[in-house]
C-alpha cells in the first residue's frame, strides 16, 4: 500500500515540513483510485499482480495534486495524467474479471 516516504522519494521532496499535506494527498488519491476501480472484491488492491500498479496510480494522482496545488482562475488547468487514466483502465479490467468470477461463485453456491 502507498507509503508517505515512498511518495516523497517519488516526487523528490526532502524534509518533513509538508508531511501532513502530502499524507492528505495520498489519502484522497487512494480513495479516488478505489472509487474509480471498485470495492466489491475483497483485498483486490493487495493482490500481487495489482499492488505495484495501484501504488503507482496513487502516487501519480497524489503527485498531480501536489504539483498543481495552487489553482487560480487565470491559471491553465491540467487534465489528470495519462498514466493515471491508463492504470485505472488496467486495474478496472482486472477488477471486472475478478468481480465476475466472484459473482459466479456466489451464484453457484
Q: How far apart are the first and last CA of the chain?
A: 32
CA separation for the pair 105, 40 (Å, rounded): 14
Positive or negative torsion for Cα 99, 82, 18, 15: positive
User: Could you give the C-alpha distances from 52 to 20, 34, 88, 103, in angstroms and in order?
Assistant: 23, 14, 12, 26
Q: Which pairs from 84-88 meet CB under 8 Å and 24+ separation?
A: 84/57, 84/60, 87/53, 87/54, 87/56, 87/57, 87/60, 88/33, 88/36, 88/37, 88/57
Q: Residue 4: what pLDDT? A: 96
pLDDT > 70? residue 71: no
Q: Work out the average pLDDT over 42-68.
A: 94
pLDDT at 35 over 60: yes
Residue 75 or 24, more confident: 24
**pLDDT at res. 68:** 82
Amino acid at each position: 500500500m502507498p507509503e508517505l516516504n515512498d511518495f516523497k522519494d517519488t516526487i523528490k521532496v526532502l524534509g518533513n515540513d509538508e508531511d501532513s499535506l502530502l499524507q492528505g494527498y495520498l489519502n484522497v488519491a487512494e480513495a479516488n483510485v478505489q472509487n474509480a476501480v471498485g470495492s466489491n472484491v475483497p483485498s483486490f488492491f493487495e493482490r500481487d499482480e495489482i499492488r505495484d500498479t495501484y501504488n503507482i496510480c496513487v502516487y501519480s494522482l497524489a503527485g498531480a495534486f501536489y504539483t498543481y496545488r495552487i489553482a487560480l482562475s487565470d491559471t491553465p488547468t491540467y487534465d489528470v495524467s495519462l498514466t493515471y487514466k491508463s492504470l485505472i483502465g488496467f486495474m478496472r479490467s482486472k477488477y471486472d474479471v475478478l468481480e465476475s468470477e466472484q459473482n459466479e461463485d456466489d451464484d453457484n453456491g
